[in-house]
Amino acid sequence: MKQPTQEDIIAYNRAESYNARKYRNSMTACTIGWIGMIVTLMITLLTTCQPAMAQTMYEVKYRTQANMLLYETEHASQADMLYYVVDYRSRVNENKHHWYWVKYASQAKYKVWWVKYASQADRKVYKVKYPSQTR
């Protein structure tokens, strides 16, 4: 078996050093890439994710002040919308018709007036006992 020469040893060390640098550089680039993706995700979440706007309701004193006329039905099958009233604004899910009644008209997204007859209403609603029953 032939012994390696000095030039063979130097060439081998250079190749080994090159491969080690190449691996180290690729790992550094991969780490920077992952950190960049995580930072981008965090910035996106912080800037776009905000609390869901509550379906805040306020009952007005006069019909002309309302932007929605409601009629409460006796049975759920008669209603266009089933709603649930929550105690805290943070528990509201607007997509599922969870309502939160506010104290002031300026805080409300919808100002409602309850009508006597279903034919006068924009929407017929029914209040349910549990949030899962809404539609």
- Would you state the pLDDT for residue 50? 55
- Would you state the pLDDT for residue 126? 95
Structure token pair of residue 86 = 């929550």
- Would you state the pLDDT for residue 93? 73
- 112: burial class by Cβ within 10 Å (0-12, 13-18, 19+)? buried
Instruction: Using DSSP, state whether 63 is helix, strand or coil.
Output: helix
**Dist. CA 71–CA 80, nearest whole Å:** 10
Instruction: Using DSSP, state whether 92 is helix, strand or coil.
Output: coil
The two beta strands, 68-72 and 81-85, are unpaired
- Amino acid identity of 101? W
- Would you state the pLDDT for residue 53? 53
- Would you state the pLDDT for residue 6? 85
- Would you state the pLDDT for residue 32? 94
Please list the pLDDT of the chain residue by residue as tens digits (135 residues).
788 888 888 887 777 777 778 888 899 999 999 999 999 988 888 877 655 455 889 999 999 999 999 999 999 999 999 999 988 887 777 778 889 999 999 988 899 999 999 999 999 999 999 988 887
Overall pTM surpassing 0.75 (yes/no): no
Residue tagged 């209403």 (tokens): 121
CB-based contact 92:52 (threshold 8 Å)? yes
Alpha helices, H only, 1-135: 6-48
